[in-house]
């Protein structure tokens, strides 16, 4: 066994030690990490003080990386490589963004439960988030186990959900917090994409609820009914027994499987710096094609 995994939550989340992610890894270790994430959904690697280059190299062992979506955000001046999502409260000069900053307000949407890039036809498979600077308190990330939530649903609900197709867009998630400051061009680029509501996780064969704050409609269902169903399911799936709260230390790298988890950021004192860098491994095929 080339890695050591300690379970951090009763149903999911493993902490992996005995590895230095700055170094190139043997294929045997990559396979062990893949097996571990298939089992635990979320892996915590403490004490990994890696650079962006090292984080990209490690992430690429698991597939192709997404690039950040610039087209939606014309005022975005990048601070980092296009393969690194800037999960910070900093602008291009490394200054804390002011309260009314448009990108800050948009990023507040990360505090809604979501699965990364579910607003893209091909969503994210893995996300890898590394903590470079953390606030003195708050700013945790919470994860919810969508396979355990699926397992716990009553059979009647399971049969109601099988085969349903949702529509996801950032327009839906941002509208929930009253963020509607989009240009016509941005709105066009953010047209809703279809995602199945129930997935089978390839690495475990287990079923999973595929929920996200970006989901706002269900095909063939009246909108209020669809919204209410999605709200009920999200509430059900994020009960405490399915949720792990990660309190960040600088050097932590957390890798999660977006196919079978949701996550959200928690609030903190935004006069302090919080600087997190995310790489994202694309899932390769649309969920509707995968299911067919």
Positions that interact with ligand OGA (CB under 6 A)? 87, 110, 116, 127, 129, 141, 263, 265, 276, 278
Residues 6+ apart with CB under 8 A from 166: 194, 195, 196, 197, 210, 215, 216, 217, 218, 219, 226, 230
- Interacting residue with Mn ion among 116, 167, 252, 275 (CB under 5 A): 116
d(CA 202, CA 283): 11
Residues 6+ apart with CB under 8 A from 266: 111, 138, 139, 140, 141, 142, 245
Site size toward Mn ion, by CB under 5 A: 1
**Range 85-94 burial, b when 16+ CB lie within 10 A, else e:** bbbbbbbeee
CB of 86 to Mn ion, least distance (A): 12
Contact segment (CB under 5 A) with Mn ion among 26-34, 110-118, 186-194, 214-222 equals: 110-118
CB of 41 to ligand OGA, least distance (A): 15
Query: With respect to Mn ion, which residue has the nearer C-beta, 116 or 145?
Result: 116
Residue 265 site contact among ligand OGA, Mn ion, none (CB < 5 to 8 Å, cut-off depends on kind): ligand OGA
Contact status: 257 vs Mn ion (CB under 5 A): no
Query: With respect to ligand OGA, which residue has the nearer C-beta, 14 or 109?
Result: 109
CB of 55 to ligand OGA, least distance (A): 13
Query: With respect to ligand OGA, which residue has the nearer C-beta, 54 or 200?
Result: 54
Contact segment (CB under 5 A) with Mn ion among 113-121, 146-154, 167-175, 213-221 equals: 113-121
Task: Name the residue whose CB lies closest to Mn ion.
Answer: 116
Q: Coil, strand, or helix at residue 91? A: coil
**Residue 156 and residue 278 in contact, taking contact as beta carbons nearer than 8 Å:** no
Residues 6+ apart with CB under 8 A from 112: 173, 176, 177, 213, 264
Residues lying near Mn ion in the complex (CB under 5 A): 116
């Amino acid at each position: 066994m080339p890695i050591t995994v300690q379970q951090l939550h009763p149903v999911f989340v493993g902490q992996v030690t005995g590895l230095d992610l700055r170094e190139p890894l043997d294929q045997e270790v990559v396979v062990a990490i893949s097996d571990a994430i298939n089992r635990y959904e979320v892996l915590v690697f403490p004490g990994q003080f890696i650079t962006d280059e090292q984080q990209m190299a490690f992430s690429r062992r698991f597939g192709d990386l997404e690039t950040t979506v610039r087209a939606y955000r014309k005022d975005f001046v990048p601070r980092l490589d296009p393969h690194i999502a800037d999960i910070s409260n900093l602008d291009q000069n490394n200054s804390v963004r002011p309260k009314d900053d448009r990108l800050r307000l948009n990023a507040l949407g990360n505090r809604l439960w979501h699965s990364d890039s579910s607003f893209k036809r091909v969503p994210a498979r893995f996300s890898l988030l590394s903590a470079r600077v953390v606030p003195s308190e708050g700013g945790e990330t919470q994860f919810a186990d969508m396979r355990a939530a699926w397992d716990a649903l009553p059979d009647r609900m399971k049969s109601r959900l099988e085969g349903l197709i949702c529509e996801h867009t950032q327009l839906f998630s941002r509208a929930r917090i009253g963020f509607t400051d989009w240009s016509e061009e941005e709105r066009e680029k953010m047209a809703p994409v279809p995602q199945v509501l129930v997935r089978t996780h390839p690495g475990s064969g287990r079923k999973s609820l595929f929920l996200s704050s970006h989901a706002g409609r269900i095909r063939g269902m009246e909108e209020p009914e669809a919204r209410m169903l999605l709200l009920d399911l999200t509430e059900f799936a994020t009960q405490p027994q399915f949720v792990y709260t990660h309190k960040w230390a600088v050097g932590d790298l957390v890798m999660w499987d977006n196919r079978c988890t949701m996550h959200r950021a928690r609030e903190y004192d935004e006069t302090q710096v919080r600087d997190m860098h995310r790489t994202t491994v694309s899932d390769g095929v649309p969920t509707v094609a995968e299911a067919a």
